[in-house]
Structure 1
Amino acid sequence: MVTIIQGTTKKPVSSRQLTDFFTCHNRYDGSLYIGYPIIGTAEGPYSIDALLVSESKGLVVFNLIEGRGVDGFQDAQDDSYNKLESKLRAHKALMKGRNLQVPIHPVTFAPARNDVTELSDEEHPLCNEKNLDAWLNTRKWDNPSSFKELVSVIQAISTIRKGRKKREVQNPNSRGAKLKRLEESIANLDNQQAKAVIETVEGVQRIRGLAGSGKTIVLALKAAYLHAQHPEWRIAVTFNTRSLKGQFRQFINTFAIEQSNEEPDWENLKVIHAWGAPGGGDRDGLYYSFCRTHGVEYHDFGSAKRTFGQGKELDGACQRALGACTRPSGIYDAILIDEAQDFPPSFLRLCYEMLKPGKRLVYAYDELQNLNSQPLPPPEEIFGRNPNGSPRVRFEPNRTGSPRQDVILEKCYRNSRPVLATAHALGFGVYRTPDERTGMGLVQIFDRAELWREVGYEAVDGELADGHEVTLARTPDSSPKFLDDHSPVEDLLQFGWFNSPEEQARWVVDAIKHNLEQDELRPDDIVVINPEPLTTRKVVGPIRQLLFEHGINSHLAGIDSSQDIFFDADGKSVAFTGIYRAKGNEAGMVYILNAQDCYGAFGNVAGVRNRLFTAITRSKAWVRVLGVGKDMQALRREFESVKNNDFRLRFRYPTEEERKKLTIVNRDMTGAELHKVRKTQGNIAQLVKELEKGIVRPEDLDADQRSRLIRLLNGEVA
């Protein structure tokens, strides 16, 4: 069966007829790209009308005729063939001596012509829907041994990898060698990723996927593809984690050069922060641009915090700006948003209002990244309604051969099955000691149970429904086996308990020294994460000093390095980071310090569990979760339960009422809310103490207040 990937095309009718042909003739294999690839030439970017990449046929290059005019179709075929052959010859993996190992079959598809056989010849075939099947049957690829490399070249992924430092290894069983094989195994985009890059819709497109499913690279390649197709468009790419900026620019730049033979026009293609500030250049941001363009009041972070409250800074600022602007002006032709789960819905709506007609907004997010029971609202709710009450944005059901508005990236290519299942088990509290306030170990859960299936889990026992016992496991398709068969489970994941922070520090230094000297890992294969952002500089200082004494360089990401760069440019320094800068980044070996801080925290238990989940899922191979004290021992017991259950999640799915209680009990509180709750707890404790001692009698309390308090404590509505 042929996978159809619908890109931008100026020949919609013939493109549709070609895709209909392959939909009906499902015995063919491969991927059919419409409006892709774009080839960089001396004359500028050259777009191929359609390309079939098939293990049985090789490459079939289609020149599409939209009407009846076929004059010069032979020259057009020759041009497509020569440009594509030149592109492929530049890749040694596709060559044997001077010979290209991939057959290229050019053909002109003219569905409106009935006389194609009269105009066709062996060298320049001309087909319509009636004779295309017979012609394709004569095409074949006798030795498709380089098919995998061909796909990588067509997707331009091979070019992106060339920009990375070559990994030199001597021991085939070292960690460095294993990591090299892992990186080579993830050679190409899968079908879902390729579709997400190329498929372009008029309107809003949503891309969902787990950490490690490729959302960031998909958005970067999509931005470069749109820029190559429409260099006159103004396109913005934005994100929440500031250190992603350098990564985005690198990916976009490499892909753009591949497609157009020149760097992007960074005036039209902006990699831009979400918030922004006056000063221009790198200080610019989408929210600030909206305020400046429309002449509405701008709030910096401090002002927004004072005005709208802690935790509501961006939401309040965006809502205020939207409310003050009655007639928004279009600034961009397309906006792409990564890490959308970290933005309030009001920011997405602000971006939508900044778009010109066509409203091309692409937002990617991970519904499990924050493990919130309240995911992003549906698009009908985010983007508001028309005057007649209909939603401004509504996703239509996906149709075969048409670009999809709602894309799900099911496969996780970063975390192995044991690592990802452990992260979810700890993040949700699946095997946590039950809380007396809720009767459950769970600290949070999804309202919509079906979401588990959408992101790659299946129910292997029980029923995935409210009030039922269920056992969830990763499917083989969603968690490829090669991600965990390179090392035993005992090496993939280790939980370490120490008597003191000093002992923890010495252990980490010895382990990193061994990684670099014996394991053939590079410094930029290692990330050390402290989940508590306010203590990171203090916590990592002694470890970095010990490393320095051993001649090992390190840096604190965003503090003694550029805020827009996470890893050292030369790859010769170990990255230390707080949890927020870690998001969006990955490494072969991840060390998590002071994990005991993530066991629980009054007024923030869900928040600290989210931090642990995020830290664990930064790993491409190995994770070391470290800590001190009894909370670390409790966390380690949870991990042992995950391992004893073969990395499956076994629990009773809470009912709607229980989920509401979870949300209340384990909600994240601001500092002000914590202060109020603690003050009230102290007052109640004092009252109970004085009642017990007889200092205050029940009769001394106001009767109405007493009865209201009893009803509230019994869970009744006052």
Structure 2
Amino acid sequence: MSNSFFFLQAEKNHLNQGFLDEVENHAISNREQIYVISSPLGDSRYTYDHPSAVVVLSPKRKLTFIDFSGNNDSFDEFVDDFVEDLASISDKYRYKEAIGRPRTWKSELIATIYADEIEPFDAWIKESELHDPAKQRIAELLVSLLTGSINDIERVQADLPISLLDRVKRKIQLFDGDQTRFIYEKPKNDIVRIQGLSGTGKTELLLHKLRDLYVNRPNSKILFTCHNKILAEHLRKRIPDFFNFMKVEEQIAWESRLWCVHGWGSNALPNSGTYRLICSVYKLQFKPFSAYMSFARACSEALEELGEEVDPYFDHILIDESQDFPESFIALCRKVSRDTLYVAGDIFQSIFDANITPNIAPDHLLSKCYRTDPRTLMFAHAIGMGLFEETKLRWLEDPEWVACGYIVEKAASNSLYRLTREPLRRFEDIENDVPSVVLESVSGNFLDAAAFSIVTAIRQLAQEHPSLQPDDVGIIILDRNDEAFPLADKLSILVRRELGWLVNKAHETKRREPGQLFVSNKNNVKGLEFPFVICVSKCITNGYVYRNSLYMTLTRSFLQSRMIVSAELNQDILHHISDGLSRINAEGKIEVMPPNDEEKARIKTTITVAASTLSFFDMADKAFNEIGVLPLWREQLIDALKKVIGEEPDMDNIRETSRFMYERMIKSRA
């Protein structure tokens, strides 16, 4: 079974087997990230004539070369060649200016061990020790180069950062064992599925895989797709920057070798969406969105029209945020892809599926979240599932908790669950006594109180973190648009007047603007991250879509999330949530009484009903009946709904938007 703390690229044999087994056991038992390689990862140009040596890499340790051949001269040449190649990689990615040439660090950061003269494991433990924090940081940068986990050296820099915000922003990122295997191991299946929580690096891994395919398959056609238009646009802009950063020399051939589009598309623009492009390539009838045509149905009909024998147009397709897509879309992509289809999704954004077990048995399961403080992730999970409330919305069985990265402890008779998460490299060496989540309830007029609270919170953050910039903060408003948009408008005026910052209303601009405060509704935050997130929600409701949005929003931060709610509208549950949050912040654990069998049955039944698929028309008709929309208004209202809600309908959204628009229609005719 693979382990995220250990990665082995070097070939195991009878000479090194004992040593490698000891190193792997050490990595797992001590939760220490260790890589064992025989050549730099990510570039096939580097090969060596000395096959009997391994290089052991671990953050904060010396790079250790261990020989099992007994041929000292050949081994010494291997070490010299390897270090020379490492210097070349350092120069390629502009690390040399920060860490210097090998002569400045080789004597202090390189260890060599001759296994025929000394017991290699004990020697490695002792000889690789490195205590100087400045030297540790340079060693960690060298590990990042050799594992292909390239950091922006202008961002992380080689010197030690002082402030908490700078320490987190400049933290050196390294792929763990699971992530490294996804990038470098040859796929075993036609479809490779990656499942991971928000912040586990799925999109970053897809970008690295995209770069690998684009460079090593010169004539291939590759499609990168996701459901959300905003995320697709963000990715399309990010890919050239990423390729430049990774020193891809070949120019991007957009719309002939590489496409980056969202799922559906527009009839007038063949390259505007994956489904639209497939229809154009194979001369299929394009089915636009309508009350009677869901995306799932459109993809199913396209599959039928294609038939069995299809000449694949694309060589590879990469799908991000796969939980937003119907299975018919995945099948359609598989049909038109010649080689591997890579599918990445968030298991927790599908947490309200009737049965998530099939979704947590992918080829690569990423359970460790490297963006978000583990305490923030725990709170987001707990509030998303209603764990702090008397009536829970979701419960997982023990294997499912483990798959989501939790360590499960149970009191006597299983009457009490204690859920904790492993410490992560991003936070373990950063002394952070800042609460990971701040829950604030405000009274009175919510629009005014929330706006004042946001400005006050930003002022406080600026005092605590002098290097704070406007785009270090993201404000996401979860309420329906008739309440979210006025608050965004109010903030654009108030923030500029009180703080001197420009405000980017991303639900209007559809992008992230450097140097401006990001303000948006819930529909424009996927794929984004901020040091600080302020989540605004007037009332914590029990809708499944709302709770998933709450989870997704809270996990956009990598230092702290703040949640602002109405004191009056949430008084029944606020004390339960506050108590649960206090325990998470203080002790790093969720402590919860599990539901009994009867409650579990009720939860499962509720989820099954909620997961049943209704067409847009059926959902709208159901909402109209609940609201009491008169028949003569229904056709006009459903046309308006289609324009406002678009391709991502859900029952909560349709119900709330219908009520708002119907009230406006009645008033306009009064």
| Shorter-normalised TM range | 0.7 to 0.9
Question: Per-residue deviation at 1:548?
Answer: 2.5
The equivalent residue for 1:384 is none
Alignment CA distance shift 1:512-1:363 (3 Å): same
Whole-Å separation in 2 of the counterparts to 1:166 and 1:86: 18
Q: Secondary structure at the match of 2:441?
A: strand
Whole-Å separation in 2 of the counterparts to 1:260 and 1:212: 25
The equivalent residue for 2:275 is 287
1:180 partner letter: D
- Give the CA RMSD over aligned residues: 4.4
Identity among equivalent pairs (%): 19
2:174 partner letter: N
Alignment CA distance shift 1:318-1:3 (3 Å): same
The equivalent residue for 1:355 is 337
Aligned pairs for 1:402-441 within 5 A: 406-433=363-390, 441=391
The equivalent residue for 1:534 is 481
Alignment CA distance shift 1:654-1:330 (3 Å): farther
Question: Per-residue deviation at 1:525?
Answer: 0.7
The equivalent residue for 1:46 is 45
Alignment CA distance shift 1:256-1:17 (3 Å): farther
The equivalent residue for 2:318 is 336
Cα-to-partner distance string for 1:528-573 (whole Å, 9 max, x where unaligned): 101135333233111111122232201111522xx3x3x21xx310
Aligned residues: 579
The equivalent residue for 1:320 is 301
Aligned pairs for 1:284-683 within 5 A: 284-299=272-287, 303-308=288-293, 313-326=294-307, 327-356=309-338, 359-374=339-354, 378=358, 406-433=363-390, 441-446=391-396, 449-462=398-411, 469-477=415-423, 482=428, 485-489=431-435, 492-500=437-445, 501-516=447-462, 519-520=465-466, 521-532=468-479, 534-535=481-482, 536-550=484-498, 551-560=500-509, 563=510, 565=511, 567-568=512-513, 571-596=514-539, 598-600=540-542, 605-628=543-566, 630-643=568-581, 645-646=583-584, 647-653=589-595, 655=597, 657-663=601-607, 672-673=618-619, 675-676=621-622, 679=625
The equivalent residue for 2:214 is 227
Whole-Å separation in 1 of the counterparts to 2:105 and 2:444: 62
1:262 aligns with 2:249: yes
1:99 aligns with 2:104: yes
Alignment CA distance shift 1:259-1:661 (3 Å): closer
Alignment CA distance shift 1:80-1:442 (3 Å): same
Question: Per-residue deviation at 1:676?
Answer: 3.6
Q: Secondary structure at the match of 1:350?
A: helix
Question: Per-residue deviation at 1:228?
Answer: 2.5
Whole-Å separation in 1 of the counterparts to 2:120 and 2:464: 57
Question: Per-residue deviation at 1:100?
Answer: 4.5
Question: Per-residue deviation at 1:321?
Answer: 0.7
Question: Per-residue deviation at 1:428?
Answer: 1.0
Whole-Å separation in 1 of the counterparts to 2:122 and 2:594: 55
> Which among 175, 187, 195 is matched to residue 181 of structure 2?
195
Alignment CA distance shift 1:483-1:474 (3 Å): farther
Question: Per-residue deviation at 1:576?
Answer: 0.7
Alignment CA distance shift 1:141-1:479 (3 Å): closer
Confirm or deny: 8 A CA contact 1:38 1:259 kept in the other structure. no
Cα-to-partner distance string for 1:219-256 (whole Å, 9 max, x where unaligned): 11121123233233222222233333465456654554
The equivalent residue for 2:21 is 26
Alignment CA distance shift 1:75-1:247 (3 Å): farther
Q: Secondary structure at the match of 2:290?
A: helix
Q: Secondary structure at the match of 1:529?
A: strand
2:506 partner letter: A
Whole-Å separation in 2 of the counterparts to 1:167 and 1:141: 21
Question: Per-residue deviation at 1:335?
Answer: 1.6
Alignment CA distance shift 1:418-1:82 (3 Å): closer
Cα-to-partner distance string for 1:378-401 (whole Å, 9 max, x where unaligned): 489xxxxxxxxxxxxxx8xxxxxx
Alignment CA distance shift 1:681-1:314 (3 Å): closer
Question: Per-residue deviation at 1:97?
Answer: 8.4
> Which among 21, 37, 41 is matched to residue 37 of structure 1?
41
Confirm or deny: 8 A CA contact 2:443 2:568 kept in the other structure. no
Question: Per-residue deviation at 1:653?
Answer: 3.9
Alignment CA distance shift 1:87-1:495 (3 Å): same
Question: Per-residue deviation at 1:322?
Answer: 0.7
Question: Per-residue deviation at 1:672?
Answer: 4.2
Whole-Å separation in 2 of the counterparts to 1:620 and 1:167: 21
1:515 partner letter: L
Whole-Å separation in 2 of the counterparts to 1:134 and 1:406: 37
Higher helix share: 2
Unmatched segments (≥5 aa) in structure 1: 7-14, 40-44, 63-72, 108-124, 381-394, 396-404, 434-440, 683-718
> Which among 272, 276, 291 is matched to residue 261 of structure 2?
272
1:101 partner letter: K
Q: Secondary structure at the match of 1:193?
A: helix
Alignment CA distance shift 1:582-1:477 (3 Å): same
Question: Per-residue deviation at 1:37?
Answer: 2.9
1:641 partner letter: D
Question: Per-residue deviation at 1:266?
Answer: 3.6
Confirm or deny: 8 A CA contact 2:320 2:344 kept in the other structure. yes
Cα-to-partner distance string for 1:46-66 (whole Å, 9 max, x where unaligned): 35579734357736699xxxx
The equivalent residue for 1:399 is none
Confirm or deny: 8 A CA contact 1:37 1:48 kept in the other structure. no
Confirm or deny: 8 A CA contact 2:40 2:147 kept in the other structure. no
Question: Per-residue deviation at 1:578?
Answer: 1.2
Alignment CA distance shift 1:17-1:450 (3 Å): closer
Whole-Å separation in 2 of the counterparts to 1:336 and 1:19: 39
Q: Kindly name which structure, 1 or 2, has the bigger radius of gyration based on alpha carbons.
A: 1
Unmatched segments (≥5 aa) in structure 2: 25-33, 68-74, 629-670
- Of residues 405-414 and 290-299 in structure 1, the stretch that sits farther from structure 2 once superposed is 405-414
Whole-Å separation in 1 of the counterparts to 2:279 and 2:8: 38
Question: Per-residue deviation at 1:82?
Answer: 4.3
Confirm or deny: 8 A CA contact 1:412 1:479 kept in the other structure. no
The equivalent residue for 2:640 is none
- Of residues 179-188 and 406-415 in structure 1, the stretch that sits farther from structure 2 once superposed is 179-188
